[in-house]
Amino acid sequence: MFSLPCLAQEQKPALPTPSPVSPASTPATQAAQTVQQSQQPGQVSPLTLERTLQQIGANYPKLLGAEADRLSARAKLLEKQGAFDPSVNVSSDYLLYNSTSTRGKRSDTTMSEVNVEIPTAYGLKFVAGGRLNLGAVKSPNSSTGDTGEYFAYFRLPLLRGAGLNEKSVAERQAALGVPLADQNFSLALIDTLLKSANTYWKWVASGRKLGVQRDLLKIAQDRAKFVKDRADAGDLPQADVILAEREVQLRRANVIAAEQALQAAALDLNQFLFERDGQVSPTPTPEQVPLYRPNLVPLTPAEIERARKLAGERRPELRSLSLNRDITNIGLRFARNDRQPAVDLIFSPGTDTGYRSIGETMKAGVVVSIPLRTRAADGRIGDAQNKLEKIRQDERAERARISLSVAAAANAVNKTVERYTASVESLRLARLAEENERIRYREGDSTLFLVNQFERETATAASTLIDIEAEYEQALALFRASSVQPFTP
């Protein structure tokens, strides 16, 4: 904020003054220049917001954990799809038993079967294979020719379980769980980047305010030396020497406090910064505070309206509610299906081969199960309907909250721009008043105490301007997060 002072060469008591602000610079950029003035090319590069967010997005443990949840949802889907994996089944039995036709007589049989079973999501069960049953085959099994019977088996549900059964419902819900996990990740990403962006701008503001205090201290140190030399020459009273030295100590304490605030902000920011190997990144240094070039622009009504529409389309909370509604509707349809009777058609054609075979075989039938009460299904239906009502109400509240959050963020951006304009003028007037007081002191119409006071007020105005610029960036980050827009242009 303040450039290095130049000692006056006048005969009258004079004070060092800051160099004027060039047309290409602003009071807001000078603080960052002061923090970085000792940084030479080739040294530590500034820590930009884009670089910070990229590092957080790639390495932050909580986001990596959220990514693991996404992969877990895909693994869960694979697990549910596994319910329809085909299988090969092999069985072979030898039975020694009391004959059913002649009690007290031993009978024995060997029964072997190999088949391939293919379940489907619709509920149709298909089996193809062969069996060989020799000897005194025990009911309900039947004998086969010497080279076995080869068959196909179909079981088709017509009502209960037709297209909606426990396994198919679990697969559909798991399939919706994948985009649901994606939305949960998106929400975690937005929240994390917003928090880190707010912390980043707090750190930048702390670094720039440290520059203000260092400039203020430099002015006091140069003035103290100048006042002492003039007092030794008898041109100024010794009281001014004491006052000048006291001001140096006061401003040195302010520099230490600003350094403490910067270090605290750096540690807060460092909580988000991790390396690829999982280690915490080095704490950002004052030299990494970037040069800030203010570009505070108010949002237009068209931009605000566009943000509202984007928020309604993109916010993860709304997409998650929509997916949860779909998941619940699947459960509701399944519960309603379970209230129906079970009517399954069974058909199994086959061919019996070899010695003592009969040629074509066939089994056909229907299995009917009629529930006398459906309390289990009724309870699930009521539960699903209540969940859908809750989702509907949650969506109404969430849409209102999101719309209002966009409006609040936009209002914060625009009001901060207005405050910025007023603060720039306030700083200009503070500098003018400071310079006028310095001129009066040179002419003997003021005191060193008043000059110090005006310089502090200028520094306070400069720090206030820095805070407003940081608040603008934080409000803009909130506006972009609310409408799911990139944090950086």
Cβ atoms within 10 Å of 245's Cβ, excluding its own? 15
CATH 1.20.1600.10 location in the chain: 27-76+169-328+389-482
**Percent share of the chain, pLDDT over 90:** 79
- What is the reported pLDDT for 143? 87
Question: How confident is the model over 76-97, as a mean pLDDT?
Answer: 94
Closest CA to 408 of 484, 318, 299, 296: 299
Closest CA to 170 of 261, 79, 101: 79
Cβ atoms within 10 Å of 434's Cβ, excluding its own? 22
Render pLDDT for 378-436 as a digit per residue (tens, 0 to 9): 999 999 999 999 999 999 999 999 999 999 999 999 999 999 999 999 999 999 999 99
| Torsion from C-alpha of 439, 442, 448, 452, nearest 10 degrees | 30
Q: Which CATH architecture has domain 27-76+169-328+389-482?
A: Up-down Bundle (1.20)
Whole-prediction pTM: 0.81
- What is the reported pLDDT for 98? 84
- The average confidence (pLDDT) of the chain is 89
Binned at pLDDT 50, 70 and 90, residue 47 comes out as very high
Q: Which residue has the higher pLDDT, 386 or 108?
A: 386
- What is the reported pLDDT for 455? 94
The answer, yes or no, to whether residue 194 has pLDDT greater than 70, is yes
Binned at pLDDT 50, 70 and 90, residue 43 comes out as low
Render pLDDT for 311-332 as a digit per residue (tens, 0 to 9): 999 999 999 999 999 999 999 9
Question: How confident is the model over 62-89, as a mean pLDDT?
Answer: 95
- What is the reported pLDDT for 48? 94
- What is the reported pLDDT for 97? 85
The answer, yes or no, to whether residue 38 has pLDDT greater than 70, is no
* Poorest-pLDDT segment among 25-29, 171-175, 252-256, 400-404: 25-29
Render pLDDT for 433-489 as a digit per residue (tens, 0 to 9): 999 999 998 888 888 999 999 999 999 999 999 999 999 999 999 999 999 999 886
Binned at pLDDT 50, 70 and 90, residue 286 comes out as very high
CA–CA gap between residue 146 and residue 103 (Å, rounded): 27
Instruction: Take residue 181 and report the two structure tokens written for it.
Output: 């996990």
CA–CA gap between residue 321 and residue 327 (Å, rounded): 10
Render pLDDT for 173-184 as a digit per residue (tens, 0 to 9): 999 999 999 999
Binned at pLDDT 50, 70 and 90, residue 139 comes out as confident
Binned at pLDDT 50, 70 and 90, residue 20 comes out as very low
Query: Which conformational region is residue 483 in: left (phi greater than 0), alpha (psi within -120 to 50 degrees), or beta?
Result: alpha
CA–CA gap between residue 250 and residue 237 (Å, rounded): 21
